[in-house]
Amino acid sequence: MKKEFDISGMTCAACAARIEKVVGRVEGVQSAVVNLAAERLTVEADSSAFPAVVSAVEKAGFGAVLHKKSTENSDKNAQKVRVMRTKLIMAACFTLPLFYLAMGPMIGLPVPGFLSPEQEPLLYAVAQLCLVIPVMLVGWRFYAVGYSSLFRGSPNMDSLIAVGTTASFGYSLYSLVRIAGGDHHAVHELYFESCGVIITLILLGKTLETISKGKTSQAIRSLMQLVPATTFVIRDGNELEVPTSKLLMTDILLLRPGSRIPADGTVLSGNSTVDESMLTGESLPVDKAEGSEVYAGSINLSGALQVQITRIGEDTALGGMIRMVEEAQGTKAPIARLADVVSGYFVPVVMMIAVLAAAAWRLGGQSWGFALSILVSVLVIACPCALGLATPTAIMVGIGKGAEYGILFKNGEAVEHLHRIRTVVLDKTGTLTTGKPALTDLIPAPGLKRAELLALIASAERPSEHPLGRALVEQAEKENLPLSQPEEFENLVGRGVIARVNGKTILAGNARMMQEKEILFDSFQADLERLAGEGKTPVYIAADGIAAGIAAIADTLKPDSAAAVKKLQKHGIEVVMLTGDARRTAQAIAKEAGIAEIRAEVLPGDKAAVIKELQAQGKKVAMVGDGINDAPALATADVGIAIGSGTDIAMESADVVLMHSALSAVPTAMELSRRTIRNIKQNLFWAFAYNTLGIPVAAGLLYLFGGPLLNPMIAAAAMSLSSVSVLTNALRLKKFKEEK
């Protein structure tokens, strides 16, 4: 039996690992997987084991409650964001004057005489203490979680923050006592501002993280909004408007033109066309008649339908998609943060070195003050300022640079995962192609000019709402052709239109319509075969009962698609096209785009299965799409990339959004990801290098051999230097340029 729990109190990968470990020990548990980004624990266990699972999580210092639907948690997520923003603002309000007061006198900035470190050192120190205490109270959770994790033997990033800031605060407090005792020189050994700045910066990162996590539920909420709140049904021969949530399997739906379908069903009577693009990705509407299947979330376009319900609620095709998106978002592996892994060893080692060094010097005959100075120097130089900045600064610069190119990384995980991608799966409709039918070919009968034929057929189609008809009218308008208003017009659902234009009877429709009217198109057979091979939809045109020509409508390739595919392949990326379209249409587009591997005629629910199949082969997969039907695949992929002109649901399910709808941004995003991750690794190296090299010096190694002693002030300067180097290195990403 499988259950999901919402977990509270997690801050890093070390927390997730600890929960998995303690839950895994519970008797009856087969597997326990924690999704840090979704703050969710998925447990497969005997039904009797779940109470013990909750108990184990709580004993480990975290909270666990049964998972509810994402839409039910939207208010909770919004509340979290409000709380984090409030904390950040409060911390910043006290940290800014604290930083000015501490650093201003050092660089010549004016401060009031009564707060001058030379004239009123005690008041100067007390003012800093009063400013830092509110910041520490705002960030109390870092101390609660950090020390709790440390005492349980599983330190995390919060432990580093807690230990480092406590060391800074503790030594500053000691210096304040010395100032009060008359040692005015101790005014130069105050580090309250380090404590305040660290907490505020970390709160900034946590706020951004909370905002990002809160957006995971929006994809589910948007999908659910595809189902109308109310709908018309026929019950006992009466027409009623009822809430969709109150639908019964015995109801018959009454669907008017323009209405959204609330449930899956079978057409009992009526003819219409239905827009199923949000489910199938197919840009052309589908004809519906008696016996046809219709699906929740799609839109009835032209005619009235009576539909017998076959599936409602979570059992519909749309409900299945909602379930798949939620499951995919809940099973993504948490991002592995190097700093969290290293902190598991780094913190206890640093603390051990600090205590042993202080004890050794005290036993060696040095004073308690000297020993305390050694202890604090080691802890201060190990303070995680650079460690905490290493990843977020590079990520922030990388994300900002991406925005310049119209690439929106929705979180740091997307940046980290994208550089590992070796297979890119591209949706066809709206991603590789424009997603809109357009006239590609117009072949008139002998003796008839192209412009004359286009004006004639466009005039006949003017009253039509069918996308194929609109494509013909738009092309004629684009060419500034004079159009007439038809004297008569009739729409034959599933066949075409009949119109009277300038005294001529014009027929425009499919082969079935022409067969019924006994109009022959034998002379166009070669052209029809060619168009079929190119995956284009033919429109047969007749005037006064005689074949006048044929038009071809197709969803055309975007101008930059072929170049983008070529660039990806140049970098060794495998490109796969995935579509619900017919194989012949897919092959025509793939050939034009330069794609060898095609997955065509794939049902909406199977798109995510194709992604899983590729992942099962050991491939890191990115999915690029724009439709609602792509949402499960976008969520399942290692990285989901949504085209900005696509649906809100696709963009919410994705990790990266291409704001300008240009496919060429995909290789640019991948290269930017590679550069950003390389920058992060460099930052982490320098962050650890400063600390690792500085710790022996802080412990008094050089002093032991007659060299200088690294006092806490120099230790703080070294710590600041590591932060400067990390920031400077991260800013180098601003020089990134798109590959031409």
List the chain domain ranges.
2-67, 76-159+170-225, 228-262+264-311, 406-432+558-670, 435-556
Nearest in space to 58 (alpha carbons), one of 152, 139, 138: 152
DSSP-assigned beta bridge partners for residue 439: 553
pLDDT of residue 216: 44
Active site positions, annotated: 427
Is the domain defined by 228-262+264-311 classed in CATH 2.70.150.10?
yes
pLDDT of residue 461: 92
DSSP 472: H
Regions of the chain short of the pLDDT cut 50: 70-71, 212, 216, 281, 328-336, 713
Nearest in space to 700 (alpha carbons), one of 420, 476, 372, 452: 372
Query: pLDDT tens digit string along 123-142?
Result: 999 999 999 999 999 999 88
Helix (H, G, I), strand (E, B) or coil at 283: coil
Is the domain defined by 435-556 classed in CATH 3.40.1110.10?
yes
Rounded CA-CA distance 398/675 in Å is 8
pLDDT of residue 706: 82
pLDDT of residue 333: 31
Q: Topology of domain 406-432+558-670, per CATH?
A: Rossmann fold (3.40.50)
Write the burial class of residue 570 (CB in 10 Å: 0-12 exposed, 13-18 middle, 19+ buried): exposed
Nearest in space to 190 (alpha carbons), one of 211, 208, 176, 206: 176
Q: Which two tokens stand for residue 438?
A: 């357009």
Rounded CA-CA distance 184/436 in Å is 77
Rounded CA-CA distance 334/10 in Å is 12
Strand 230-235 to 40-45 pairing = unpaired
pLDDT of residue 9: 80
Rounded CA-CA distance 675/330 in Å is 29
pLDDT of residue 715: 59
Helix axes 50-59, 13-24, angle to 10 degrees: 140
pLDDT of residue 712: 53
The torsion angles phi and psi of 278, rounded to 5 degrees, stand at: -70, -15
| Helix (H) or strand (E) run with residue 370 in it | helix 368-381
Query: pLDDT tens digit string along 166-203?
Result: 877 888 898 899 999 888 888 887 878 878 877 887 78
Rounded CA-CA distance 442/453 in Å is 8
CATH number of 2-67: 3.30.70.100
Residue with tokens 């990790």: 655
Rounded CA-CA distance 372/159 in Å is 21
Rounded CA-CA distance 176/190 in Å is 8
* SS3 sequence of 637-667: CCEEEEECCCCHHHHHHCCEEECCCCCCHHH
